[in-house]
Amino acid sequence: MSKKNLPTKRATILVAVDFSSHSRKALLYAAQLASDLKRPLQILHVVHDPGESPGYYANKKAKKQLQRLEERASEMFDEFLVHTIHKNSSITPLKKAKQILVSGLPVTRILEIEKKLQPYMLVMGSQGKTKLAHLMLGSKAEQVVQLSTGPITIIK
């Protein structure tokens, strides 16, 4: 690819996933966008320490087995991508995507990675809660939109 087709700044499409159906839709949108614009795709997952089980993600396949947070999150990330690629194998950027796995508070880490990479666009999924629940609870997507300095697409 020539530099004319792929500028050095804001070249990549970055998508943040949490392994939900909403983030799968966001991933597919981002992958198709990356394909259409001939840009690389980077997929980000932030490992967040759940309060009810600090330091661990439950392994549903092995009953009552706990794994270190990063180890299980990495496995879940791989499973999520393998399943998504298998069902959408015609979208080339999915197969070539770079995975980014970091730990921390999701909103903070998403914004840090966005600032570092300066992507062409950040894509995130959202549940699209009702206005009342949205006002009371807020959402990670809403916080990222409010605090980000770059272009963002939210997929419901």
Which of the four pLDDT bands, split at 50, 70 and 90, describes residue 56? Answer: very low
Q: 128 is written with which tokens?
A: 């699209």
Beta pairing partners, 123: 15, 153
Q: Which CATH number describes the domain made up of 13-155?
A: 3.40.50.620
Q: How many CB atoms lie within 10 A of CB 14?
A: 26
pLDDT tens for residues 67-111? 578 888 999 999 999 999 999 999 999 999 999 999 989 999 999
C-alpha distances in Å from residue 125, one per residue of 1, 68, 120: 30, 26, 17
pLDDT, position 71: 87
Q: Where are the domains of the chain?
A: 13-155
Quote the CA–CA distance of 23 and 45 in Å, as a whole number. 10
pLDDT, position 142: 87
**Dihedral (Cα; 113, 124, 29, 27), 10-degree rounding:** 70
Tell me the whole-structure pTM to 2 decimals: 0.81
Quote the CA–CA distance of 64 and 51 in Å, as a whole number. 17
C-alpha distances in Å from residue 107, one per residue of 48, 134, 147: 10, 16, 9
